[in-house]
Amino acid sequence: MSFGTASVAENYQRYLEPVLFAPWAHRLVAYAGVRAGDVVLDLAAGTGAVARIAARAGAEVIAADSSAPMLEHVPAGIRTLESPADALDLPDGSVDVVLCQQGLQFLPDPVGALREALRVLRPGGVVAVSVWATDERLDPFDAFAEALQRDAVAAGSDRRISNAAVEMTVHGIVDCLLVAGAADVRATRQELAVRWPTVDSEIAAIFGTPFGPFLDRLPSGRRDGVLDDVRRQLDHGGTTGTHVTTSVLGRGVKR
């Protein structure tokens, strides 16, 4: 999945970050035990949801991502680093905490990225990650995937749309951290209720994901049909419901 276009980055920061990612960023920063004075690397930082929260905790933060358009939305005062996750231009043992929120599952080599995270950590430093939990409903993304699948069937396409690739289990996170070489590994599932201010904002949020450019490439009639389908799923009498989101949080320590 690509997050490299300017429109995706803008919509991600405008719609997704405040409702969905900022609340989970608070959870991840607390789970990692970030303290004032820590040097923190926000890996696969996106528009900087985690970086913002860590900076407010008094940390010195580096936001790293392979997408330049995403990094353009990181606040001034936070150092940015355009870089793949598995080849960071940072010295060995130069940071205290590495955080990665909802990014690990998108990386071509998750274990390689975690090895790189451990390389830049000081001994005793913490790496903490969060991903969406397997087998849990995740709206609006599941609503869009289902609408797109129905569109594909109606169009006679054998395309298969699923969010399975963005989900991981507790055991999957633990295995990745252990194989990468982390010590004192643990993981947990946590729930967080989120509420979108309007149905329109929830639908607009999908344009902050790779689904957005995909929708824009559909013929206008099919695109409108997909969006109408999503609205029927999400609209509760003109308002949005509260969605319970579930993440797996995992952490390990550099030996």
Question: What are the extents of the domains in the chain?
Answer: 6-253
pLDDT digit string (tens) for 166-198? 889 999 999 999 999 999 999 999 999 999 988
pTM: 0.93
- Residue with more model confidence, 212 or 19: 19
pLDDT digit string (tens) for 52-66? 999 999 999 999 999
d(CA 173, CA 152) in angstroms, rounded, equals 32
- pLDDT > 90? residue 148: no
- Distance (Å) of CA 10 to CA 161, 206, 207: 24, 12, 9
Instruction: Read off the pLDDT band of 163 (50, 70, 90).
Output: confident
Instruction: Read off the pLDDT band of 247 (50, 70, 90).
Output: very high
Contacts of 65 (CB under 8 A, 6+ apart): 44, 45, 46, 71, 80, 81, 82, 83
Share of the chain above pLDDT 90, in %: 78
What are the b/e assignments for 184-197, b being 16+ CB within 10 Å?
ebebeeeeeebebe
Instruction: Read off the pLDDT band of 239 (50, 70, 90).
Output: low
The mean of the pLDDT values for the chain is 93
Instruction: Read off the pLDDT band of 210 (50, 70, 90).
Output: confident
pLDDT value at residue 238 = 55
pLDDT digit string (tens) for 21-54? 999 999 999 999 999 999 999 999 999 999 999 9
Pick the CATH number of 6-253 from 3.40.50.150, 3.40.50.720, 3.20.20.300, 3.40.30.10: 3.40.50.150
pLDDT value at residue 248 = 98
Question: What H or E segment, with its residue span, contains residue 39?
Answer: strand 39-43
